[in-house]
Structure 1
């Protein structure tokens, strides 16, 4: 059954060709990637001559209520935010039964490519400073009852050494504040993901001379304040309840530098 679905997607989810025009305005420069439910293009806005990002719901998903709801939710979430380090939505449109939305283009490399392709290293202090900026973005999301739920290194764009957060396809907005337990679980998932992002950056300066893999607490030489921060982010010690607690420990770790 799964192979049939994959075959169907192969023939149906064909990206728009480079050089084609979407909505009589956006020239497709290249396909940036294909996710579980979307195709992402880098386009030139023929009206403003600016580069824009266009996300298309995969044709194989357009008749599925759940996938369409995820697509519409992402647009709704982005429109509810007003943050310099989060993409802005300009417009939505449909063509031949397909759904698209246009958002701002953030020029830069994602953390995954920087780490694994360009072999960039991040020292402890630099990693903590980047985490501080990411925490500010995440705190703004949580203030608006939005939980990203997909904080990963491919979804962090670095521009002039400052992080930008993209891909809100799995984000959740909880407007019913009576469900405090659910909100706390979503919040702590975002905090856990921040801990993993920090670990990825810290490991860029690590070179193993041992054949046997060890826990990060043994492999990495970190200040004790950074270790304490990571253990709480990852739930090894008492998990954080809010961003103020994280920021206080972040500041302690930076002072230890």
Structure 2
């Protein structure tokens, strides 16, 4: 059976109006990721809006699928930050597995850029990057590594970024083995992804008639401090080893705008 056929036969959406766990009334389906189906729900106990994520049955039947979902639930349950999801509930019913988290009424960066054509100049891109860095630094302080930082996984509400989707995240807390090199690789992956997001933001103002693709160092006109920051994040120059190092270079880039 092909993966597409499995999804068609097994991954059926719950209908609007249905109750999940006798508590969460489905308002509408709002998304479908590779692992989960996502619903906007009303919590009938307190009349609050919530997001419920359902593990695809096709993924549950695959080796490790349920373990990944349970790992995501475990990580969400440990988060305590205003710019990260809050886990409220998790349950299983009729061999379906769900978790419930808070609803953030906002759009992700992918929608902001490609649907609403929002652009970020160098200053606003660096400012947003600064806020994101603080969230990722919190995760790393808990020995949690996101490992899937992309613009669809960044929600922007009134210029405030929220990081979502912990389906690929790793929690190394409680691991007594010497995993320093493994954690360093994970940290570098998150830093690289942050650099990629920053570069993406900076390209929103780029417009060229040239048909020849050039490296970003030639296409974008950036202050040298921003270029230096990007090169280190993307591993072109010596990689950063801590958020403190990144913050020092970031502040040098932002300081230039405070002088103008």
Indicate the TM-score class for this superposition, using the shorter chain for normalisation: over 0.9
Listed one character per residue, the Cα deviations across residues 132-152 of structure 1 (whole Å, up to 9, x for unaligned) are 110000000000000000000
- 1:142 corresponds to: 140
Unaligned runs of 5+ in 2: none
Deviation, 1:183, is: 0.6
Partner SS state of residue 194, structure 1: helix
Listed one character per residue, the Cα deviations across residues 122-172 of structure 1 (whole Å, up to 9, x for unaligned) are 111111111111000000000000000000000000001010000000000
Deviation, 1:64, is: 3.6
Tell me the number of residue pairs that the alignment of Structure 1 and Structure 2 aligns.
Answer: 255
- 1:229 corresponds to: 229
Partner SS state of residue 84, structure 2: coil
Mapped to 1, the partners of 2:256 and 2:138 lie a distance apart of 27
* TM-score under structure 1 length normalisation: 0.97
* Aligned Cα root-mean-square deviation (Å): 1.1
Deviation, 1:61, is: 2.2
Mapped to 2, the partners of 1:242 and 1:103 lie a distance apart of 30
Partner SS state of residue 91, structure 2: strand
Mapped to 1, the partners of 2:171 and 2:114 lie a distance apart of 32
- 1:252 corresponds to: 252
Mapped to 1, the partners of 2:213 and 2:171 lie a distance apart of 39
Mapped to 2, the partners of 1:5 and 1:162 lie a distance apart of 37
Mapped to 2, the partners of 1:207 and 1:42 lie a distance apart of 37
Unaligned runs of 5+ in 1: none
**1:27 pairs with 2:25:** yes
* TM-score under structure 2 length normalisation: 0.95
Deviation, 1:25, is: 1.3
Moved more, 156-165 or 204-213: 204-213
Listed one character per residue, the Cα deviations across residues 41-98 of structure 1 (whole Å, up to 9, x for unaligned) are 1111112111100011111222444111110111111111100110111111111110
